[in-house]
Structure 1
Amino acid sequence: MVHSTRRTFLGLTLAGITGVALAGCASRDSGPKVTLALSTLSNPFFADLRDGAAAAARSAGIDLAVVNAQDNPENQLDQLRTAAVNGSRAVIVNPVDSDAAKPAATAVMDQGIPLIAVDRGITDRTPGSFIASDNVAGGRQAATLLAELLGGTGKIAVLEGQPGASATRDRGAGFLEELRKHPGLEVVASQTANFDREDALDVMTNMVQAAPGIQAVYAHNDEMALGAAVALGSRAGKDVKIIGFDGGGDALDAVKAGTLSGTIAQSPRELGRQAVLQALRAVQGQPLQPSVRVSVTTVTSKNVDEFVAKSKES
């Protein structure tokens, strides 16, 4: 499975590009143009976010142009500089890196174009609206779940997300904040795996060798949790509890199978929908909501079937 990850991601990326092209053809010249600048489409989470945004754009009569930075801040800077001069009436950005996004945000804001950030914030820049899951609360929920699973005592490894991303900071901060309430739990290893499944496999393999007594893993996203599960093999979900963050399809399947002990589930389609609704307000000259927080759900084997059923209904 892991060796095919890059091929799977490539397929998702190509499918995403095709989908965007088709959506653009359907909506071209049918309404005001809005650019959605995504950090990547390799991660299924952001493909779902795009789909939620595209559906909302069709309903609102917006011509949504989606660009993919492929996790490269320089690509995103170029894309937003283009959006600043190509007639976009509003710009939605999901930063590759919250710190590095400042010049890209400035390029848009200096042109007087409303800027909406989704999923990740922008360091030292305040967009017109920031739509995100409650990542701090999600981090707290992950710590609470691990405390329950470990009976309040155990050694934990943390797989951090991409350095500089606000989601990385918030998910880590919430987790450590709640962990302080459980003195029997100890973080014995913490390292970035860049929100990437293959990176997580490598990092987790090294962590286990350096700290063989690890009893639990908290990963800042599902992709890293799944990579950790491969590295741990038959120990995953049994001797070593693994908690992810996102609530994607592969992770939910792993929760059902018992490989993952749980995931803090976001609603990426809702994030995309809310971002487009704010863009519509901007286009119509209405004031934007400075902050829109979308709740997260702790999903375990106890409620995974119910969560999946509700997700399909929405």
Structure 2
Amino acid sequence: MRILDTHLHLVYPDRFSYPWLENAPAINKPWPVDAYFAEAEALGIESALHMEVDVAEKDMLAETRFVATVHPRVIGAIAACRPENTDFPAFLDVLAAMPQVRGLRRILHEVPDELSQTPLFAENIRRLAVHRLSFDLCLRADQLPIGMALVDQAPDVQFILDHCGGPDVAGKGLDPWRSYIAEFARRPNVAAKISGIVAYANPDWTVDDLRPFAEHVIESFGWDRVVWGSDHPVCTKTANLTRWVEATRQIIAGASADEQAKLLHRNAEHFYRVGGH
């Protein structure tokens, strides 16, 4: 079963500045594309979408332009942006003119909650609909109500909720995360990404530690509104890429071939408009 990885981070410190990596010493090093595919191809990962790596604001466009042509198997990019800025419309026009850009993201789990709650932020997110660009939501579990409020203000935009909504896997924090996810799933313009949960787990995690989080997201959103992502190299905090792919396959082993295909590549091709969509 082939996989389209919707959440690949490539790190090139010789080209771009990543201020946040100073606080993440375990992964603060180069993560080039060839090294990723050397492991990924054997796992059935045939293609990937590059997810912006929260580079310094001055490097945002340069990162997007670079990854757009970095490797033939990187078939699109989710670009960094700042919807809180008044110059966002002009910035969006530049991104929208790049055919490799399939969506945008602004990291929200490490900024003040108020940043995404302004009328300007919502107005700028609504602009994505005209360009058929999606918006990835990266939130902590406690911020999920903030995400829902934003979604409600942009009903014509396709949102993708990253990392199963940021649950506390290590602390087995199922509640109130579970009820938030169920409520989030009632919004038809949101899909959910099965990703990131290994980085939220203890280093000695087992598949059974991850299973209730992944299964609840799939049950809530349904097989038609879930996609898969590696979150590489962030996943290497507690596992390598191989182990996360193997864990995913174990979690979905009881699903039909059609359901597995939806999660692993078909839905991603639809929501991010790649592979002929």
TM over 0.5: no
Which has the greater radius of gyration?
1
Query: Which one has the bigger strand percentage?
Result: 1
Q: Please report the TM-score for the alignment, with normalisation by the length of structure 1.
A: 0.30
Q: Please report the TM-score for the alignment, with normalisation by the length of structure 2.
A: 0.33
